[in-house]
Amino acid sequence: MEIRKQQDAEEPFQPVFNEGMYDRARFTSDFGDRWIHGFQTGGRIIVRVSITSKETASKRDIQTHAEASLRFWGVAGSFSARVKKSMGELDRHAHVDVSIHYQGDMGHRALGMTPETMERTAVEETFEQAKSWADWFVESACYHEYKYQTVLDDYENLANFPHRQKTMDYSAAHKVSYMVLKERVKISELASVLQQGFLTADLKRKINKADIEIGSACKQWVLEAALFPAGAVESAMVLIEKITADFYAKYLRYLVRHPPQCSFIA
């Protein structure tokens, strides 16, 4: 969840280019493919709810109760009786943890907030806390002044940008990077879950090694994509095939022996 304030309408600073003071061949590596037009002010908050099943619970039941319990998200007021009932069922079948991540000084105040004291299940209390953070964040919209994101613009949009100066096109690399990031996050979380299971020490070491190697391969892909963006899509597909062969094909089958864990991010 994020709040973005309208930017100042004043004309931004216009950089002046002196071609004699920089190397044209190194322009992108030295100055990037875009320039900082300004800063986006506002705030951002991420409430992550992790649900870990108990040994006797079925994945389908947990998913059903979790989806019903999370219907409160974005709805004003207190929990309905139906939602509370689903929370009670979820409490019987799973353990629920909540973590909060924020950008902006206003987020510090949210950490000190607690829901009203009343008799409730552990899950209901946890979700009440998460909802109180989110509600407070929205109600305090006018006070979020944190410069949490740069507003970038293409050099070509500048009136005085030298026409013969070439910049790299990262549009395709940017899109495919989300695919790489998605796979990296999945591997990291799967490796973490498998490390908690009843596997042999040797197998856990192999899983940990595969996780580290995949992380290094993803970092290397980023470096190569920055230098050669034209080949980013093809190299990303090769990387994803490597991830499938080195991790999913070898270790995914061990996941069925352990309680599933899912996350809800708002």
| Tokens describing residue 96 | 């629920």
Whether 245 shows a pLDDT value over 70: the answer reads yes
96-137 tens-digit pLDDT: 877 777 766 555 555 555 444 333 457 777 777 777 777 777
Name the more confident of 20 and 239: 239
Q: Which of 118-122, 129-133, 162-166, 169-173 has the largest mean confidence?
A: 169-173
Per-residue pLDDT at 263:
47
- pTM (two decimals): 0.58
Per-residue pLDDT at 110:
53
For residue 175, name the pLDDT band (cuts at 50, 70, 90): very high
Closest CA to 35 of 19, 58, 13, 65: 13
Q: What is the DSSP letter of 245?
A: I
Per-residue pLDDT at 113:
53
As a whole number of Å, the end-to-end CA separation of the chain is: 6
Average pLDDT over residues 1-28: 71
Closest CA to 261 of 183, 213, 192, 185: 192
Domain residue extents for the chain: 1-167, 171-258
For residue 13, name the pLDDT band (cuts at 50, 70, 90): low
Bridge partners for 121 per DSSP: none
Alpha carbon distance 76, 131 (integer Å): 9
28-71 tens-digit pLDDT: 888 888 888 888 787 777 777 777 777 666 777 787 877 777 76
Whether 8 shows a pLDDT value over 90: the answer reads no
Orientation angle between helical segments 232-243 and 201-227, nearest 10 degrees = 180
Per-residue pLDDT at 52:
78
Closest CA to 215 of 247, 237, 171, 193: 247
Name the more confident of 262 and 130: 130
Alpha carbon distance 35, 249 (integer Å): 43
Q: Is 50 in a helix, a strand, or coil?
A: strand
Alpha carbon distance 127, 79 (integer Å): 10
Q: Do the beta carbons of residue 62 and residue 90 sit within 8 Å?
A: yes
Name the more confident of 191 and 49: 191
Average pLDDT over residues 11-25: 74
Whether 158 shows a pLDDT value over 50: the answer reads yes
Whether 159 shows a pLDDT value over 50: the answer reads yes
Which residues have C-beta within 8 Å of that of residue 13, sequence separation ≥ 6?
A: none
Closest CA to 49 of 261, 191, 194: 261
Window from 31-45, 179-193, 198-212, 223-237 with minimum mean pLDDT = 31-45
Alpha carbon distance 33, 157 (integer Å): 12
